[in-house]
Amino acid sequence: MNPAASDTAVELIQLAAAAADAKNGADLVALDVAGRLPLTDAFLLVTGRTERNVIAIAEGIEERLTEAGHRALRREGRSEGRWVLLDFGDVVVHVFHEEDRLYYSLERLWKDCPVIPVNLPVREPAD
């Protein structure tokens, strides 16, 4: 039997996804890697359109999760704004510039892992 992502990991995915969405993060994909990696339960992959957007998304996610009582254990790549990694223990968030996301193709590397549904808040249409 393969272990599944913990309830805490799923909760963190939802919080991080909502924060990414609020900063115009795109192509959100959450993967349950608990059965394949002993170090974390889930990945959240997010795309930013520019370096500035990648940094804003990462900062928004870190701020939201910190407010909820979950501090990042490690962060990498913030200065370049091409691929920011935020390690929250149960969840690792990867915020990519769109070119880097295509190049590294983590979805392909982890294609055997179950997808965790991401429930984003409903946005009001702009007038």
- Write out the chain's pLDDT in tens, 127 residues: 356 888 899 999 999 999 999 999 999 999 999 989 889 999 999 999 999 999 999 999 999 999 999 999 999 998 889 999 999 999 999 999 999 999 999 999 999 999 999 988 776 655 5
How far is 91 from 93, CA to CA, in rounded Å? 6
The pLDDT of residue 79 is 84
Contact (Cβ atoms closer than 8 angstroms) between residue 10 and residue 20: no
Terminal Cα-to-Cα distance of the chain (whole angstroms): 50
Task: Identify whether 2 is part of a domain.
Answer: no
How far is 23 from 61, CA to CA, in rounded Å? 9
CATH of the domain at 108: 3.30.460.10
Task: Identify whether 38 is part of a domain.
Answer: yes
Task: Identify whether 28 is part of a domain.
Answer: yes
The pLDDT of residue 126 is 58
Q: Is the dihedral of CA 80, 81, 82, 84 positive or negative?
A: positive
The pLDDT of residue 1 is 37
Task: Identify whether 127 is part of a domain.
Answer: no
| Two tokens, residue 112 | 């055997």
Contact (Cβ atoms closer than 8 angstroms) between residue 43 and residue 15: no
Task: Identify whether 122 is part of a domain.
Answer: no
